[in-house]
Structure 1
Amino acid sequence: MSLITTAAPSKPATPAAAARRRPAARRAGTPYAFLAPALILFAAFLAAPIVYAGYLSLRKVKVSGLGLGAKSRTEIWAGLDNYTRSLTDPDFLPSVGRVGAYGLIVVPTMLGLALLFALLLDANRTRETVGKFARISIFLPYAVPAVVASLLWGFLYLPRVSPINDTLEALGISAPNLLSNDLTLWAVANIAVWGGTGFNMIVIYTALRAVPTSLYESARIDGASEVAIAWRIKIPIVMPSLVMTFVFSLIATLQVFAEPMTLKPLANTISTTWTPLMKVYRDAFARNDLYAAAATSVIIALATFILSFGFLKLVGRRAFNQED
């Protein structure tokens, strides 16, 4: 004798249960609704141009005949030819060398001044009125656009119109030509340091303000001086901020463009390929070679990613207390 069992029929969802599920589904989709505008803008104005630049870097134009007919110019696959042309261009390596020297001047100077100003402001934390005025004064150059700042400094560099030169000559001092071939790099670096120190100072100073003052008071009770407190307590605490500002400064160094491009009409010592990005601009808009410009842009982007990621990998464990 066999027993036959039948499963009980499932009960249909009640309207109350369905109504409870709908708000839960809406709540689950709310974060994506808030993220959607940012994701759309990121895809349209950052991801898509990067992908398109990578596509152009692998293409080239084939010219048939005199290149005057409707179908005389066709776009074909180029492979890595554009990258080979960019890397073997006689103007590319000198521009990379200038950017490297520029970075060796700008990054340590700018971060050193930013750290110094942040420590001085934090040490004078009790004088709030003086601190506010100092913060605004140091940060204000960052609010000036790079093109405007380059024009202002460019006219200060010109010997015939610079009030600095007139003042030095009145004192009997021979003023140097800051736009000469030997000093152009320092003149461009000065603009970047003047404009970027304030931003980095604010980042470091904000990290210092998060540290409780009781920690400093305990160190003072133990006999530590202000210099010892800054060296042994404050700087290690703001190390993550220093790492972040270094990465930002490194990226800005590899992408330097506005300052030398603005100074170029004022100085014969700045060529059209003074930096790699200026070479990209020349290839794209002066020579109408978008494919070589795209290849150079991809090389710059890869170099920026490798250097930034490599630096974070090198110091990340110590700066951010990362563990394996």
Structure 2
Amino acid sequence: MTDIATRETRAVAATGGRRRQGAGPRRHSVGPRAGTIAAFLTPFFLPFVLFYLVPVGYAIWQSFLVVRRTGGQFGTSYTTFGGFEQYVQVFQNAEFRASIGRIALFGIVQVPVMLFVALIMALLLDTPLLRLKSFFRIAAFMPYAVPGVIAAIMWSYLYSPQLSPIVDLLKDIGLQPDFLGPGAVLWSAANVSTWLWTGYNMLIMFSALQSIPQELYEAAKLDGASNWTIAWQIKVPIIAPSIILTTV
């Protein structure tokens, strides 16, 4: 028995030794993997650098340049480095500061509303009680696929006081909406943005919901959890990373 155990120990040691010897070349496979990763990423990063980072960088450089003239208004113009001169002039403009406040208000209100609607839609699509899931999923995602020009024409028609059937309907019940007025145009734009992007964010959340193991739902139901409890105490916490991603 001792001889058998000794032979087995030696065999295991020899096998482990061979495995350790064979594990050496695997360390050198990082290079080919890195090359494969670079090959897949290059088609994205090359246009990203050329058509996004380079123009943004050039625009930032241009913002530090100012045009000056010699010899009065009709003199010779030349471009020179002005530092933060233009930034100082812009931030001293009251209308520009007010526009920043409007954009901040737009984001504070529109983003939570859009993500909440997207989350509700994703939870509804993930319920086993819903029929025609494919139809509703495509219908919710369809606005994202509509070209921006077409969306602008469509919503300008719906907001137009002279053409919109929605405006006519609201007038018939005694309301006088002015979607393009000074007090409502910001929220009209927010409505268009919500319509365009809700389906896109819903699809990200729905994909995360599809990756949750069904065993969790079955265990929760055995413990007496309702569909409402499963949705808000199991599904939402698990897909929190996806919600954070869509928020960013």
Shorter-normalised TM range: 0.7 to 0.9
Determine the C-alpha separation between the residues in 2 that align with 1:115 and 1:78: 48
User: Superposition pairs for residues 68-79 of structure 1, below 5 Å?
Assistant: 68=74, 72-79=76-83
Of residues 134, 139, 142, the one that matches 1:140 is 142
Partners of 1:229 and 1:120 in 2: how far apart? 12
Distance, in Å, in 2 between the alignment partners of 1:40 and 1:153 is: 35
**1:122 to partner: Cα distance:** 0.5
TM-score by length of 2: 0.80
Note closer, same or farther for the CA distance 1:67–1:150 as it changes in structure 2 (3 Å cut): same
Q: Which amino acid aligns with 2:194?
A: V
Deviates more, 1:180-189 or 1:202-211: 180-189
Structure 2: runs of 5+ lacking an equivalent: 1-29
Q: Which residue of 1 aligns with 2:118?
A: 114
One-letter amino acid matched to 1:38: F
Name 1:173's counterpart in structure 2.
174
Give aligned-pair identity as a percent.
41
Contact 1:67 1:73 in 2 (8 A): no
CA RMSD of aligned residues (A): 2.3
**Which deviations, in whole Å up to 9, do the C-alpha atoms of 1:113-156 show, x marking residues without a partner?**
000010011013774xx100110111111111233222212211
- Higher RCO, 1 vs 2 (CA within 8 Å, ≥6 residues apart): 1
| CA shift for structure 1 position 213 | 1.1
The structure having more radius of gyration, on CA atoms, is: 2
**Structure 1, residues 292-311: CA drift from partner, whole Å, max 9, x if none?**
xxxxxxxxxxxxxxxxxxxx
Task: State how far apart, in whole Å, the 2-side matches of 1:135 and 1:176 are.
Answer: 32
Q: Would you say how many aligned residue pairs link Structure 1 and Structure 2?
A: 219
Show the counterpart of 1:88.
Answer: 92
The offset of 1:28, in angstroms, is 6.7
Matched, 1:44 2:45: no
Matching residue of 2:71:
65
Conserved in 1, the CA contact under 8 Å of 2:123 and 2:231?
A: yes
Secondary structure in 2 matching 1:62: strand
One-letter amino acid of the structure 2 residue matched with residue 50 of structure 1? V
Partners in 2 of 1:35 and 1:227 — Cα distance? 41
- Compute the TM-score of the two structures, normalised by the length of structure 1: 0.62
Give the superposition deviation at 1:177. 1.6
Match of 2:60 among 36, 39, 54: 54
Segments of 5+ residues of structure 1 without an aligned counterpart are 1-23, 248-324
* Offset from partner CA, 1:26-49 (integer Å, 9 cap, x none): 887555455444343232112211
Cα 1:53–1:225 change in 2 (3 A) is same
56-65 vs 144-153, greater mean Cα deviation = 144-153
Q: What is the alpha-carbon distance in structure 2 between the residues aligned to residue 163 and residue 73 of structure 1?
A: 53
- Cα distance between partner residues in 1 of 2:200 and 2:63: 35
Aligned to 2:208: 207
Whether the aligned pair in 1 keeps the contact of 2:205 and 2:242 (CA below 8 Å) is yes
CA offsets 1:175-194 (integer angstroms, 9 cap, x no match): 41222222212211111111
Alpha-carbon spacing, 1:26–1:123, altered in 2? closer, same or farther (3 Å): closer
More helix by share: 2
Secondary structure, aligned partner of 1:91: helix
CA distance in 2, matches of 1:232, 1:26: 44
What is the CA–CA distance in structure 2 between the aligned matches of 1:26 and 1:104, rounded to whole Å?
A: 46
